[in-house]
Structure 1
Amino acid sequence: MSKIRKKKIKKTNILLGFICILLAVLLGFILVTSYKSEQKESRHLSEIADDQQSGIEDYEAVKERAKELEEISSEEAEDTEDTKDTEKTDTADTEDADKTEDTKDKTTAASGIVCWGDDLINGEESNTYSYMTVLQKLLTDNGYNMTVINKTLQGGGTLSMMKMAGVSDETIQSYITKHQQAANGAQLNVTETGIRDLTEEQTTRNDMDCIPVIFMGYYGGWNHDPAELADQQEQILNTFQNKNQFIVVGTRPMDGSVTSEALDQVLSQKWGEHYISLADVTAQPSSTYEAQQAMAEAILQKLQELNYISKN
């Protein structure tokens, strides 16, 4: 091989070696640059991740705080409702108290006393000795300016009394039907099924703002059942304006079908402090002068006890 050719090969090898060195340096530079870029990107991604985690933690904290605020708001709302309920209750109590005062005022303003039920003394004697006449005298003598109205029905049963008070025919008929069913074909006293013919004067009501004294049952009409008698008394009481101011007087029926003890047990439980047992007031028969006097005195005492009357 010629020297010239050898020199060319040598130069070529040197050039290739130099190129290889350059490529190696370039490759090294690229690798270093890539590593630094990756490191930078890694740090950037780590920062982003840290920021996201911080954001999540901040979000959770905000969410937790919002929950706490919601609970506080709910508790405050409940407190507000409780306050409102308390205020409503207080208002209702005040209104009830006002109504009670109004009721007391109405009681004081009653125009009179009205006696409903049985007239136990007949004829001229009633004008002097009946409990109504005696009661009027007692009221006047004790300084009470109250008129006693007579709405009794001589010898009448309780069905006729309800009719006179204005209780509906349907209600009265329901009692008659029940009496007939209980009799099962047996003959009944006329007061258990019949209603007396009443005059216009008897059915005209001029006493609805009065304090009623109910004395009924002596002549029957309630099927010998004290509970039914109490129900019929209530039917009449419901026709009055002031349904909370009344007196009920009880005496055993004329035929003795129910004892005073049995009657008093039911009626005293039904009417409570409003009830007067004639058996507790006197041992005399209810139609005697002594019994009428005792009943009038007991009625006056009950009117005073219940604060139904006052002196003007």
Structure 2
Amino acid sequence: MKRNTSIGKFFLQLLVCIVLLAALGFFLLWDARSESEKSQKLQQEMIDMKENTPSDQGQTTDENTGGTDQQTQSNSAEPETIETSAQPAVTAEPRAQAAGVACWGDTFYSGDDAGYSYTAALQQVLNENGFSIPVASKTLEAADTLSVMKMAGVSQADLDAYVAAHQEAAGGSAPVTEVSIRDLTEEEMARTELEYLPVLFMGYYGGWNYDPQELIEQQQKVLDTFGTYKDQFVIVGLSPADGSVDTAAYDAALSAAWGEHYISAVSVCGSPVLSVEGQSELASAIYQKLIDLGYLTKA
């Protein structure tokens, strides 16, 4: 009886093994078929992709524009005309010639003798050469540069700073010409020539502490009060007659600062600058400078 039971168990175990082997074989067969189908599908996708990818000699995708070389070749065969609206070049309007000349600073003839001054002589030279423009005389007789700056409208704070610096440099005993500021009338303070060409002849009577660099700074402050033509100017220089400043050093400093804008009065006047003849020569030199710099042009 026991023998029969053992035989039955053996056949049962054998049957189970056979079933398991069959199941394993079926699984392996299914997996292989599945992998084969995947492989075929992948191959087919690669074929489709290759067929849809442009060849090197065909059309190449332009990543930047989204176009193709083939399209470019087609366009080059039939060039496209692109209409553009050409804008005319913008040209700066030439500056109109100033309506007059403004002479600022020192004067050596006034009252009944004003007709001998270089300002009057300059008006005559302009008229003789066909320029019907006025010469405004914003000059002061025997006034230092502090008063000239005040008349131009330079701030009182700037004027006070110069006075304080001059007093300090002199240890409290500065000459009156270096610290005094003249009282000016309403007419003298009026500005009607802001759009004229500036001609500055200031400094002969002092007010700049005998320092040419300070005089240059003060001249610039006066120029800055002008309008459109403040860069079209002439500077005339004449060192004080008392010998407080070396004439050569004075002219060298102003010439270096103002370049072609500068006229040394002693170099253009064959006669003494303060004489009637000298004033006439100075007026002619100023006129010629205005012409040479292109600030005045004949029609």
TM-score by length of 1: 0.71
1:188 equivalent among 174, 181, 194: 174
Shift of residue 224, structure 1, vs aligned partner: 0.6
Asked if residue 234 in structure 1 is aligned to residue 227 in structure 2, the reply is no
| Aligned partners of 1:117 and 1:158 also within 8 Å | yes
| Aligned partners of 1:120 and 1:130 also within 8 Å | yes
Aligned to 2:92: 98
Q: Give unmatched runs, 5+ long, in structure 1.
A: 1-8, 55-65, 71-89
- C-alpha change, 1:21 and 1:308, in structure 2 (3 Å) is closer
Shift of residue 258, structure 1, vs aligned partner: 1.6
Shift of residue 284, structure 1, vs aligned partner: 3.9
> SS of the residue aligned with 1:267?
helix
Aligned to 1:177: 164
Higher CA-based Rg: 1
Alignment of 1:1-312 (within 5 A): 26=19, 29-43=22-36, 69=64, 94=90, 97-98=91-92, 101=94, 104-105=95-96, 108=97, 110-122=98-110, 124-127=112-115, 129-185=116-172, 187-242=173-228, 243-282=230-269, 284-311=271-298
Higher-helix-fraction structure: 1
Could you tell me which amino acid in structure 2 is paired with residue 37 of structure 1?
A: W
Sequence identity percentage: 42
How big is each residue's C-alpha offset from its partner over 1:93-134, in whole Å with a ceiling of 9 and x where there is no partner?
94xx526x2xx21xx1x232121111123554432x221121
Could you tell me which amino acid in structure 2 is paired with residue 234 of structure 1?
A: Q
- C-alpha change, 1:22 and 1:309, in structure 2 (3 Å) is closer
> SS of the residue aligned with 2:163?
helix
Could you tell me which amino acid in structure 1 is paired with residue 180 of structure 2?
A: G
Shift of residue 200, structure 1, vs aligned partner: 1.8
How big is each residue's C-alpha offset from its partner over 1:110-162, in whole Å with a ceiling of 9 and x where there is no partner?
232121111123554432x2211211111111111121121110000000111
What is the CA–CA distance in structure 2 between the aligned matches of 1:164 and 1:236, rounded to whole Å?
9
Q: Give unmatched runs, 5+ long, in structure 2.
A: 47-60, 66-86
What is the CA–CA distance in structure 2 between the aligned matches of 1:20 and 1:239, rounded to whole Å?
121
Backbone CA RMSD of aligned residues: 3.7
How big is each residue's C-alpha offset from its partner over 1:259-311, in whole Å with a ceiling of 9 and x where there is no partner?
22222222222222221111321354321223212211111101111222244
